[in-house]
Structure 1
Amino acid sequence: MSAVLTYKGHTVPHITAWSSEHLKQPPVVRSAGGVTFADIAFAGFPHRDSAGVLWQPWALRQGDGMPEFGRVHGPRQRRAMRRRLCQVCGGPADENEQGTLWLLENHVTAPGWPEREVTTHPPVCASCVPLVRSQCPHMQDAVTVRVGRAAVDGIYGLLYAAGLGGPVPGEAKVVFAGDPRVKWMVGAQLAATLCNVTVVDRPEPVTEEPVVRAGAHR
C-alpha cells in the first residue's frame, strides 16, 4: 500500500478528481469520419492518443483544491488500468498465482458472472480493500476476485452523432477497440474485460436485477 491522500479525515482514492483539475472542454465539431475539438491547440494538451482516441482534457493537480468523490480523473484512471495500479493508493495492485486482485459490484445473479465482466474500476491492493468497502456505498457488498487476464480493450465516454448544426451528444457507454464509433466519442475512462476470473469472497446474492455498468461512479 502506497501513501494515500486524505481530506478532512477521509481517504481520497487515487483516481478521484480534485476541483483544481477541471479544464473547460473545447466545442466538439465534425471531423473526417467522426468528431474532434474546435481548438486543436487547446492548452498545449494532445487530444488524441496513439490509437486515435479523443480524450476529455484534464489538468494534473492531484491534492490541490477539494476532492470530488463523485468524479473520476480520466488520466489517473487510465494509468491505473494500464499499469495495474490500485485505484485507492496508486501503488501496485495485489498479485498472486491466481491473478490480480479486483473488487466488483455484486451482480452474482447475472448468467456466467463474473467471467468476462467489463469494468472501468481499476484493481486494488489487499490493504485498500476495507477502504473501498467502507467509503463507497455501492461497493459495500462488492465481490473480491482474482483476474488471470484483464484485456484493456474498451473506452468509456460520450458518444456523438451527426446533426444538422454539428455533432449531437448522445449516451455515455463503453465502445470496444476496433469499433468505428470510437471516432465519434469523447473518451473519459478505459474499460477492461476480465477473463479467467476466480471468486475469492462472494457475499450474499443481491435481490434486484443486474444493471448495465457503463462507468466508474463514486
Structure 2
Amino acid sequence: MTRSAMTRTALHKPYVTPYAEETLDLPLAFEWAAGEPRLTYRDALPQDWMFGALWVRCGTARDGKILWPMVHTLRQRRCMLKRLCRVCGQSATDPGTGRIWWVMPSALPGDAATWPTVNPPTCKAHLVEALTTCPYLRRGAPAVYTVGDYSPIGVLADLYGEDDDGRVVETRHQIAIGLDEFHLLHRALATQLIVSLHDIQRAPNPANRG
C-alpha cells in the first residue's frame, strides 16, 4: 500500500468530501431575467439560487467512492453558514470562548485584520487529525487560528455563456466573484462560498506538541 493510500485509509470520511454517487447531471440553460440573460437549470427550483448565484446541485447520500481531492458544494456552504467543522459536520465554535477554530494551509501575514477563505472551520476535537492526516495540509506548513466572526463575501464559481449554436458552454473555470459583482453572478455556477475572517488570533498547533 502506498503512503498516500495509507493516509487516506486513516482519515475519517470528512464531512465536506463528496462521493461519486453524489454527482448529479446539471441541465444548464439561460433565461431572461431583469432584462439580461441569467444562468439557470431547465427544471430550476427556488433553492437552486443563493447570494444571487446559481449553485451546483449535489446528491447527499454520502455513500460509495470518496472523491478525495474535491469538495461537496452544499456541505461546504452549510459549514460556512452554520459554523460547522469540515471533518465531522458539528459545531466548530469553542463552547468556552465562543471563538471559531480554523486551520489554514499556511500562516497568514502577521498584520492581517481580515482574510478571505473557502476552507471551512475545523473543530478543536479534530484539529490534530486534520493536521496530521489531511494530504492537502501535510504538503504545506499549516497554521491554527481562532476567529471572532466571519461573513460571506463571494463565491468560487465557473462562468458560462452561449456559443454560436446556442449551447451553454463554460467560459472561465473556478474564479472568485464578489457578492456585489452582479454582472458575473448572473453567469456563474457557484461551487464554494467565500467568507472573510474577522478578529483573527493565532493559536498553538496541537500537532507540534511532543
Q: Given the two structures, how large is their TM-score scaled by the length of structure 2? A: 0.79
Structure 1, 154-163 or 122-131: larger mean CA deviation: 154-163
The one-letter code of the counterpart of 1:171 is: H
Secondary structure in 1 matching 2:68: strand
Give, in angstroms, the shift of residue 153 of structure 1.
2.2
- Deviation by residue 1:3-36 (Cα, 9 ceiling, x = unmatched): xxxx855311001101111101113435433432
Name the CA shift for 1:198/1:111 in 2 (closer, same or farther; >3 Å).
Answer: closer
Identity %: 23
- RMSD (Å) for aligned C-alpha atoms: 2.6
**In structure 2, what is the Cα distance between the partners aligned to 1:34 and 1:105?**
38
Name the CA shift for 1:10/1:97 in 2 (closer, same or farther; >3 Å).
Answer: closer
Name the CA shift for 1:9/1:201 in 2 (closer, same or farther; >3 Å).
Answer: closer
Name the CA shift for 1:178/1:71 in 2 (closer, same or farther; >3 Å).
Answer: same
Name the CA shift for 1:66/1:148 in 2 (closer, same or farther; >3 Å).
Answer: same
**In structure 1, what is the Cα distance between the partners aligned to 2:143 and 2:66?**
26
Contact 1:58 1:75 in 2 (8 A): yes
How many residue pairs were aligned? 191
Structure 1, 152-161 or 141-150: larger mean CA deviation: 152-161
Contact 2:149 2:197 in 1 (8 A): yes
Equivalent residues in 2 for 1:120-135, closer than 5 Å? 120-135=118-133
| Counterpart position of 1:22 | 23
1:92 to 2:91 alignment: yes
Name the CA shift for 1:99/1:9 in 2 (closer, same or farther; >3 Å).
Answer: closer
Q: Which runs of 5+ in 1 are unaligned?
A: 1-6, 204-218
Contact 2:52 2:179 in 1 (8 A): no
Equivalent residues in 2 for 1:167-178, closer than 5 Å? 168-178=170-180
Secondary structure in 1 matching 2:186: helix
The one-letter code of the counterpart of 2:99 is: G
Give, in angstroms, the shift of residue 37 of structure 1.
3.2
Q: Give the helix-richer structure, 1 or 2.
A: 2
Name the CA shift for 1:9/1:145 in 2 (closer, same or farther; >3 Å).
Answer: closer
| Counterpart position of 2:5 | none
**In structure 2, what is the Cα distance between the partners aligned to 1:75 and 1:162?**
26
Q: Which runs of 5+ in 2 are unaligned?
A: 1-7
